[in-house]
Structure 1
Amino acid sequence: MRSFDSPFLSQGERCAGTLMLPDTGDTSPVIVMAHGFGAIRAAGLPAFARRFVAEGYAVFLFDYRNFGDSEGMPRHWVSPRRHLSDWAAAVRHVRRLSCIDTTRVVLWGTSFSGGHVLETAANDHGIHAVIAQVPHVSGVASLRQVPARVTLRLAIAALLDQGGRLFDRPHYSPIVGRPGDAAALTSVECLEGYARLLPDGAHWENKVLSRIFLEVPLYSPARSACRIKAPTLIVAGRRDTVTPAVAAWRAATCIPDCEFHLIDGNHFELHLEDEGVCLQNIAIQIAFLNKHLGVDQCATQDTAAGHGSGKAIHEHE
């Protein structure tokens, strides 16, 4: 495997990117990947990327503006509008690279970015395939997972942040906390699960600009799902208390060519390489890639049996 720094500009600011190439020497399809709510590309994504590269795919990982190794002030700014602009810039960037097959671009997103890839594919019909893992598809569905008293405290924090913008005094809230905390992610699986994603020595802070809490309820990529032309894989967790599986399933039924898998895991178990459900999740994703991109034709013939175009619903114990 070969790895290179490959930064790009989004709205005039430098975004950090890493291009990973297989050792085959061929021009490979490329999978563009970025993380979910408040995370950096070093948090769990390389484990998925290495698996994809081992299968013969190129991978491009990037950090959003204001996060990780990317530029942008103030830091820790989660915003669907800004993130979607970064996704569009990342796709433009990889389409200009000479060492990959730029006609076969795959979008890969998880949690919050699972929604971003659906929205991006709905607006860019040149995308070859989409993988959305435990995706955020409905602001209302996600809001229903949060206790009313926590929602009120987050709304107050958001208003404080909006007011602070006038005086260059941003107001931050925790990204992850314990149940009942005024944080973005507080269900029982979140605190330990998020911590396990972070590699030792990761430069990451548990905070986000509170203004995001006014945007999340209005951000529902499922509304755009019917406009997606690319073959799409959605993988949901049966015990997910962050992005409910039923909302992901409803979005899948709106996508013309979509394969939906329900795995018996929670939101973070599907991310963690040392969990059995994560290995099952990766195998499903590789089978989908081989089916639609044909890097491994033998694997395609073995794994594509029973998977036609249109809707495919699979449950895994």
Structure 2
Amino acid sequence: MQLNVKFTSDGETLAGILFRPDGAQGKLPTVICAGGWCYTKEIVLPHIARIVNNGEVQVLAFDYVGFGESSGARRQHLDPWQQISDYRNALTYAETRDDVDPSRLGCLGISYSGGHVLILAAIDPRIKSIVSIVPVVEGYHNLRRVHGERRFADLEAAILQDRRVRAAGGKGNKIAMASSRPYEELSVWPFPRVNEVFLEVKQTEAPLHEHWSTMESAELLLNYSVAPFVSRVISTNVLMIVAERDNITAWDLEVEAFNNIPSSAKRLEILPGISHMSLYSDRADTNIAAVHARDWFSKTL
């Protein structure tokens, strides 16, 4: 069963979908989830939610401020701390629902939001369990690696120029999420396959996806790191799902972040033969990650 919902977050109205197991009665454990870079709630999350539902766990997926069906005058702006606040406000909304057991709340994130849920596990004691899938854990080193030294210098120069424009009262510039011509067109994630998959997803599943962000979003990503927070995850149940040899969000950085989590209630799943992008483009690969999430939440919530 799917139910469209709306709730407030820092003065804005967020749109979400509650995925509830068919025939379920009473209060259920509930998982809050949102997407990664320029996602809307229709991208990959419904497929994961339906499998998690099989474990008698309901899922609330939502659009961040400024994305999809949610309000927000500044569109396509990824402020990670605003997004983390949106997650926390979604948790607060869930607590008010008659069909939610507020003592059994979890969070799931993928890619950029995979990093967010690691931070949330450190700062919000309501969260009992998380699943972090192919997370972004260190923005600066991640982007420097994927762009290479010379192209990364171009990105830094574009970010500085955008800051000058905004300081002078200008609107600021846009940057592509990904490009089919990464050496000709600057983008945040310079992988033609990312461009191909997300434009296909826009045509088939998520028409409100926009394939660009503010340039300032890239600047904020350069300063993003889960490192100061993972050492504070003491007792939360943590499952991290990593795609073997993921060269987009850097699987070695993900494993390093996992190893720095002191909680004994943690588990690492490294998926062989699965790439970052096949989690979106190949439903069989999506399902493998979703089954791990279902089993983890069924066990820990």
- Which residue in the other structure is 1:315 paired with? none
The CA distance in 1 between the partners of 2:205 and 2:194, in whole Å, is 18
Write the letter of the residue equivalent to 1:183: S
The CA distance in 2 between the partners of 1:280 and 1:169, in whole Å, is 43
Cα shift readout 1:246-301 (whole Å, capped 9, x = no counterpart) = 11111111221210011121111123452x332222222222122212xxxxxxxx
- Which residue in the other structure is 2:291 paired with? 283
Preserved CA contact (<8 Å) 1:252 1:260: yes
The CA distance in 1 between the partners of 2:282 and 2:55, in whole Å, is 17
- Which residue in the other structure is 1:11 paired with? 10
The CA distance in 2 between the partners of 1:80 and 1:216, in whole Å, is 8
User: TM-score with structure 2 length normalisation?
Assistant: 0.90
Matches within 5 A, 1:100-119: 100-119=100-119
Cα shift readout 1:99-138 (whole Å, capped 9, x = no counterpart) = 1111111100000000111111100122110000000111
Q: Return the offset for 1:168.
A: 4.4
Cα shift readout 1:12-40 (whole Å, capped 9, x = no counterpart) = 11111222212221321101010001111
Write the letter of the residue equivalent to 2:12: E
SS of the equivalent of 2:270 reads strand
- Which residue in the other structure is 1:250 paired with? 256
Cα shift readout 1:37-73 (whole Å, capped 9, x = no counterpart) = 1111111211111111233211111111011001112
- Which residue in the other structure is 1:140 paired with? 140
Closer, same or farther: CA 77–186 of 1 in aligned 2, 3 Å: same
219-228 or 32-41: which moved more?
A: 219-228
The CA distance in 2 between the partners of 1:26 and 1:272, in whole Å, is 35
Cα shift readout 1:136-180 (whole Å, capped 9, x = no counterpart) = 111233122222233223223323333333434231010111332
Preserved CA contact (<8 Å) 2:114 2:132: yes
Write the letter of the residue equivalent to 1:190: V
Question: What is the RMSD computed on CA atoms of the aligned residues?
Answer: 1.8
Closer, same or farther: CA 49–196 of 1 in aligned 2, 3 Å: farther
Aligned length: 291
Does structure 1 residue 186 correspond to structure 2 residue 199?
A: no
The CA distance in 2 between the partners of 1:15 and 1:223, in whole Å, is 28
- Which residue in the other structure is 2:209 paired with? 204
- Which residue in the other structure is 1:260 paired with? 268
- Which residue in the other structure is 2:41 paired with? 41
Matches within 5 A, 1:67-106: 67-106=67-106
The CA distance in 1 between the partners of 2:162 and 2:86, in whole Å, is 23
Overall identity of the aligned pairs, in %: 25
- Which residue in the other structure is 2:159 paired with? 158
Which residue of the other structure, out of 264, 267, 279, is the alignment partner of 1:270?
A: 279
Write the letter of the residue equivalent to 1:247: L
Write the letter of the residue equivalent to 2:9: S
Preserved CA contact (<8 Å) 2:177 2:188: yes
Does structure 1 residue 237 correspond to structure 2 residue 236?
A: no
User: TM-score with structure 1 length normalisation?
Assistant: 0.86
The CA distance in 2 between the partners of 1:161 and 1:73, in whole Å, is 19
Q: Where does structure 2 lack aligned partners over 5 or more consecutive residues?
A: none
The structure, 1 or 2, with the larger RCO (C-alpha pairs under 8 Å, 6+ apart) is 2
The CA distance in 1 between the partners of 2:205 and 2:299, in whole Å, is 35
Cα shift readout 1:67-105 (whole Å, capped 9, x = no counterpart) = 100111221001112111211111111112111111111
Write the letter of the residue equivalent to 1:98: D
